[in-house]
Amino acid sequence: MASLAAPISNKVKKIWDDWNLRSFIILSLSLQTFLILFAPLRKRTSSKWLIVPIWLAYLLADWSANFAIGLIASSQTNTDQGSPENGNLLAFWAPFLLLHLGGPDTIIAIAMEDNALWPRHLLGLIFQVVAAAYVFGMQFSNQNKLLWPTLLLFVPALVKYGERTRALYLASLESLKETILAVPEPGPDYAKYMDEYSSRKAAHLPIKIEIEEGRSSDSKNVTYRLGEGDVIDNITLVEGAHHLFQISMGLIIDLVFDYHQRKESRAYFIKLESGDAFTSIATELNFMYEALYTKAYVVHSKRGYLLRATSFIAVCIAFVFFYRIEKHGFHSFDVGITYSLLFGAIALDSVALSMLILSDWTIAIVYKFCKKSRAVTDLMKKYLEFKRSWGPTTTPKCLERTRKILFRRWCESISGFSFIDYSLRECGRSVRLRPGDRFGLVYLYHRFIRFLGHRYLQIIRFFGLKYLRDEMKYRSSKRLEEILWKFIFEELESKSEVVDDPKIGREICSSQGDWVLLKKYEKHPEYKNLLACFVDVTYDRRVLLWHIATEICYYSVDTGTGGDNRKYSKTLSDYMLYLLIMQPALMSSVAGIGQKRFRDTVAEANKFFKKRGLGSDVKLGEGKLREACCKLLDVDTGVKPVDVKGNRSKSVLFDACILARQLMKFEDKKKWELISSVWVELLSYAASHCRAHSHAQLLTKGGELVTFVWLLMARFGIEEDIQVLEVQARVKLIMNKQPDDFKNNWRTD
């Protein structure tokens, strides 16, 4: 039998052998450059078009560097590797790959779960260092012209890889618990006290017991407060956020503020305006993001600064060494790759240094030592003003674009998802053909387009991409307006004034819209009917019910003036439905069967709109949405939907129509005040009951308004588990008539 031909020709093998290592070296350097430049954008955008490439680059970066080190190690045992100079050059490349495995300062983890894998990175550090040392040992000789520069490069390589492993460890939940949990407090020595008490009582000595209340040792940690005459500026906000951030990290491991932390936080925030409070929270969340997903914790320390300076100097000296040596025997292309690696290492360290200088961490640290320097403080104030979300309106467009790309702390936008718009566009375009076109080209064309649409949906459902397609197609995004944040801030601030009573605090935190109805609209004729929408109604049902009712009221003919509350209601309504449907990981603890309820409601809406010829494949205008809402209001709802359909279907479409009719009986201004207040309560309930871990994860996707509300509620002390004042007793044993042996009172603290 004739032998089978090799599937890969010798020519292809030759190309692979010549270019495999060089290709992966270039790929590794390119990925490092991409990550250090674009990874910070994760906290500034929620766009999938940017987050997915960063995710791919993060995964490929480690793989390409590990693979390249393996190729270099295997080449050392290959007798056909070329000249000795070529082997020396390959050994010189090995520490560069270790440097790449250390990763850029801007990203150490994609998700919180990556931090828990720090033992894997530690093992990777050990094995890759051994492989690189093996490569270096194979080329260790006096004839190696690159001996000393290779040794120098091992210093920054070990520093960078060690920094990454330690940063992952410090950001893991186990390390956070060890760091944040308070020192165990055994209290006074009870056994010693009782022994003394018993001995004196047995001696029939007259004893008097006095108990004094003392402050807990934790109360001494209350160090950051604003005085009456203190000026609140951008530097003060950064300094305060840096202090409070160290307390807020406890929320990640599900701790609650103790009495003194809560008191300190409230005393600080109660003096801030809404815009300043937003800047403080944005800065605090920025600290939190960098502590969990970057090397900030490791770099921003005296040891970190020293190691970073040492690494940069070592790379520069290695570059001088390589520049000055005789390069006879080296391949010119390999020399070019080596220069690229050296220039790349210097450039990446320079970029990291500039980010280090411009970070909020540096501002908070430098300000402690430069408070008296007017020039430094003025410069920092101008720079921080540039980072504010709502800066001066006179900023040139080019500077505003630069700020959004490079300096803003979060995406500064709020997402939205409209049920009516989604239902109309998903049910498709209704085509009305004339009798003569029944078998003509127009009919065949529309049949063909509809067939392609069905096949397209079947394919994306098969691959599980329907959710991603809906998010990219139907999610809207608009800038978060300052007046909306001010409205949310004032609503929560008013509630913070009454949360000192634990019972009221629990009522406010557990309220899902019924608290504002009870406090402000108890005497309204529709109060009992509206209250029925809250009794025995799950959170996901309330959100969907009030969202559809809000849209019907918003697009109804009788919109009236409504004022700003009408805009607030629509924005928050769309945002809460977006969280419920498109952020299931965040809302899993409160969503219930929200996904099923939403799908059943969409199915009923599609059936309703198709029969009335209201479907459309394109983006809808307000006129089309108003027509759809009017059609819904035209339906007679004299009988409750559950009495007609039963409870197998979880649809709330016509229950929402009933709610909308009840809301329309309110005076227009009061109606929108009620709806907007209900949405703030629904938002705050989600913020306080979603897992802190999920809030931290959202920081890698541009951040969400619900996370800002979560931290604002914590700062105002609005929480279900309110701790009372911690008191440490001081006990005195005093004898009325003391013998000479006991001249001093005995005290235990």
**pLDDT tens track for 334-344:** 899 999 999 99
At what angle are helices 539-555 and 419-426 packed, to 10 degrees?
80
Same domain, 208 and 351: no
pLDDT reading at 561 higher than 80: no
Which of 97-106, 395-404, 703-712 shows the lowest mean pLDDT across its residues?
A: 395-404
> What CA–CA distance (Å, rounded) separates 509 from 697?
23
Same domain, 208 and 123: no
Instruction: Quote the percentage of the chain above a pLDDT of 70.
Output: 83
Residue 472, domain member (yes or no): no
Q: Which amino acid is at 342?
A: L
Same domain, 201 and 323: no
Which of 182-191, 435-444, 607-616 shows the lowest mean pLDDT across its residues?
A: 435-444
Cβ atoms 547, 419 nearer than 8 A: yes
DSSP labels, 189-213: -HHHHHHHHHHHHHTT---EEEEEE
Total number of domains constituting the chain:
3
Backbone phi, psi, residue 154, to 5°: -65, -25
Query: Where among 315, 335, 356 does a domain terminate?
Result: 356
Same domain, 688 and 739: no
Cβ atoms 676, 487 nearer than 8 A: yes
The pLDDT of residue 394: 65
Q: What angle do CA 591, 596, 598 make, to 5 degrees?
A: 80
The pLDDT of residue 167: 94
**Closest among 109, 679, 711 to 410, alpha carbons compared:** 711
Cβ atoms 157, 100 nearer than 8 A: no
Residue 439, domain member (yes or no): no
- Please enumerate in sequence order all residues whose Cβ is within 8 A of that of 210, keeping only pairs 6 or more positions apart, or say none: 731, 732, 734
The pLDDT of residue 90: 86
Where on the phi/psi map is residue 464: left (φ > 0), alpha (ψ -120 to 50), or beta? left
Same domain, 197 and 174: no
pLDDT reading at 212 higher than 70: no
Backbone phi, psi, residue 592, to 5°: 65, -130
Q: Which residue has the tokens 């004094």?
A: 212
Considering the entire predicted model, what is its pTM? 0.88
DSSP labels, 286-312: HHHHHHHHSSHHHHSSHHHHHHHHHHH
The pLDDT of residue 559: 57
Give the pLDDT confidence of 218-242 residue by residue, as tens digits.
444 445 555 455 678 889 899 989 9
Give the pLDDT confidence of 11-44 residue by residue, as tens digits.
777 777 778 889 999 999 999 999 999 999 999 9
CA atoms within 13 A on the CB side of 630: 11
pLDDT reading at 749 higher than 50: no
The pLDDT of residue 483: 94
Domain span at 634 = 416-428+480-715
The pLDDT of residue 742: 42
Same domain, 212 and 312: no
**How many DSSP H helices and E strands does the chain contain?**
34, 5
> What CA–CA distance (Å, rounded) separates 399 from 305?
31
pLDDT reading at 307 higher than 90: yes
Residue 268, domain member (yes or no): no
Question: pLDDT band at residue 270, thresholds of 50, 70 and 90?
Answer: confident
Say which residue, 180 or 107, is predicted with more confidence. 107
- Please enumerate in sequence order all residues whose Cβ is within 8 A of that of 471, keeping only pairs 6 or more positions apart, or say none: 48, 582
Cβ atoms 279, 237 nearer than 8 A: yes
Same domain, 649 and 737: no
CA atoms within 13 A on the CB side of 349: 25
- Please enumerate in sequence order all residues whose Cβ is within 8 A of that of 479, keeping only pairs 6 or more positions apart, or say none: 412, 413, 414
The pLDDT of residue 727: 52
CA distances from 127 to 159, 166, 383 (A): 16, 17, 44
pLDDT reading at 159 higher than 90: yes
Q: Which residue has the tokens 């190690």?
A: 73
Its sign, for the CA torsion 457, 462, 463, 464, is positive
Question: What's CA 329's distance to the chain center, in Å?
Answer: 52
What tokens does 644 get?
């007609």
The pLDDT of residue 418: 93
The pLDDT of residue 225: 56
Q: What is the CA radius of gyration of the chain?
A: 33
Give the pLDDT confidence of 248-260 residue by residue, as tens digits.
888 888 777 777 7
Same domain, 534 and 596: yes
Q: Where are the alpha helices (DSSP H) in 592-691?
A: 594-611, 622-634, 641-645, 653-663, 668-689
Residue 283, domain member (yes or no): no
Same domain, 163 and 309: yes
Same domain, 195 and 138: no
Same domain, 116 and 200: no
**Closest among 716, 650, 721 to 689, alpha carbons compared:** 721
pLDDT reading at 87 higher than 80: no
Same domain, 27 and 152: yes
Average pLDDT over residues 619-639: 85
pLDDT reading at 440 higher than 60: no
> What CA–CA distance (Å, rounded) separates 447 from 451?
6
Q: Which amino acid is at 185?
A: E
Burial bucket for residue 735 (CB in 10 Å: 0-12, 13-18, 19+): middle
Query: Where among 333, 356, 379 does a domain terminate?
Result: 356
**Closest among 226, 223, 245, 221 to 236, alpha carbons compared:** 226
What tokens does 676 get?
């907007």
pLDDT reading at 86 higher than 90: no
Residue 444, domain member (yes or no): no
Residue 274, domain member (yes or no): no
> What CA–CA distance (Å, rounded) separates 523 from 25?
74
The pLDDT of residue 152: 92
Which of 244-253, 516-525, 637-646 shows the lowest mean pLDDT across its residues?
A: 516-525
Residue 261, domain member (yes or no): no
Beta-bridge partner residues of 747? 732
> What CA–CA distance (Å, rounded) separates 475 from 418?
8
The average confidence (pLDDT) of the chain is: 82
Question: pLDDT band at residue 83, thresholds of 50, 70 and 90?
Answer: low
Residue 529, domain member (yes or no): yes
Query: Where among 339, 356, 373 does a domain terminate?
Result: 356
Cβ atoms 104, 33 nearer than 8 A: no
Give the pLDDT confidence of 664-699 residue by residue, as tens digits.
888 888 889 999 999 999 999 999 888 888 899 999
Cβ atoms 654, 629 nearer than 8 A: no
Beta-bridge partner residues of 221? none
Which of 286-290, 393-397, 507-511, 726-730 shows the lowest mean pLDDT across its residues?
A: 726-730
How far the first Cα of the chain sits from its last, in Å, is 96
Which of 77-81, 87-91, 405-409, 439-443 shows the lowest mean pLDDT across its residues?
A: 77-81
